[in-house]
Structure 1
Amino acid sequence: MATEQTTLGGGCFWCLEAVFEQAKGIIKSVSGYTGGTIPLPTYRQVCGGHTGHAEVVQLTFDPEIISFEQLLGIFFAIHDPTTKDRQGADVGTQYRSAIFYQSNAQKTTAERVIQEMTRENVFDASIVTEVSPLSVFYLAEEYHQGYFRNNPTQPYCQMVVMPKVEKFFHKFGAGLAK
């Protein structure tokens, strides 16, 4: 089986990881950091907003089951790509909307999808999603991995993560949910 990887930032990595774990074709979904200048950043450093890193989820997927374009469809449906450095109450560059591509094909697809959504006025405001090559991915601390799965009753998970998971199932359940 040939697999691909991509790395996406759209606010809190707990939300993205929780949703993508539910999608068909996702082999592995891990939380981490990328896009900044500090080597081996910690969660506290990234949350401080001075590392340049974004909270991201790195996805390993089977393109025979789920295409990169389908992943982007989920990505754009579960976060707000029109708010610069912000997702809801989470504010700072670490919460930016970003696609860290790992091939020229991913870059071309991401740019095309954004252009199409812009042309079709999918959102009421301009899409500000960063499209950049992945440089270095740093795995987040162990307690962040599978956070929603391991802490489903935690208040943040109930109020912020669960609605995104429910939105995924409502919008994509018949075709893309496991």
Structure 2
Amino acid sequence: MKTIVLMVMVLLSAGSVGAQSAKLQKATFGNGCFWCSEAVFQRLKGVTAVRSGYEGGAVVNPTYEQVCTGTTGHAEVIEVTYDPAKIKYDELLEVFWKTHDPTTLNRQGADIGTQYRSVIFYHNNEQKAVAEKYKKELNDTRAFGKPVVTAIEKASAFYVAESYHQNYFNLNGEKPYCKLVILPKLDKMEKVFKAKLKH
């Protein structure tokens, strides 16, 4: 009898784990260097994982060196896994648009090239509709003073970047790029999105 009860409990717990994971959704954003983007989105409540990678190009399994040439068509992106019960897609979009300059074409600060373009890769029609509506509102209200040039494209093959790009800021916080570029962005984020951050 104990064995049967134990088996039932195991099955029930497995089912609840499956139900929880089924609730998780993905969002994919390109907004400049993925080291910065990853560090920003890792700190949001409801975000369970962030992977840096490449998307939107023609070359299969591109390397970082290939993508850096700007000839593969890929953008540096982050794939965000999140729980929509804790953070909505439009909240992710708000963070996306407020933590980079979406008015510069193929450029973020000193990083220049199509691989640094501002782009949203939507995973379903709902994400597409929300992103397009949000972008229209930003342009209608001239929120950035200049037109938002962020591309909104259907998600295509996502290629995970090399292991040394993953969790970059957390593992390399003492490096000059992290101190000079990423840390100020995180400090600004702390002020603007304090209520959305993990403790």
Cα deviation, residue 128, structure 1: 0.4
Gapped runs of 5+ residues in structure 2?
1-19
2:184 is aligned with 1:163: yes
Q: CA RMSD in A?
A: 0.6
Alignment of 1:22-171 (within 5 A): 22-171=43-192
Whole-Å Cα distance in 1 between the matches of residues 189 and 46 of structure 2? 15
| Aligned-residue offset at 1:166 | 1.2
For residue 163 of structure 1, report the CA deviation from its aligned partner.
Answer: 1.4
Deviation of residue 120 (structure 1)?
1.5
Match of 2:5 in 1: none
Provide the TM-score with structure 2 as the length reference: 0.88
TM-score when normalising by structure 1: 0.98
Structure 1 residue 81 displacement after superposition: 0.2
Question: What residue is the counterpart of 1:177 in the other structure?
Answer: 197
- 2:40 maps to 1:15: no
Could you tell me which runs of 5 or more consecutive residues in structure 1 were left unpaired when the two chains were aligned: none
Report SS of the residue matched to 1:153. Answer: coil
Q: Give the residue type in structure 1 aligned to 2:197.
A: A
Aligned residues: 177
* Runs of 4+ deviating beyond 4 Å: none
Seq. identity, %: 49
Find the aligned partners of 2:117 and 2:27 in 1 and give their Cα distance: 16
Greater share of helix: 2
In the alignment, the residues of structure 1 paired with residue 94 and residue 150 of structure 2 have an alpha-carbon distance, to the nearest angstrom, of 13
User: Which AA in structure 1 matches 2:178?
Assistant: C
Structure with more contact order per residue of length (Cα contacts < 8 Å, sep ≥ 6): 1
Deviations 1:47-101 (A, max 9, x none): 1110000000000000000000000000001000000000000000000000000
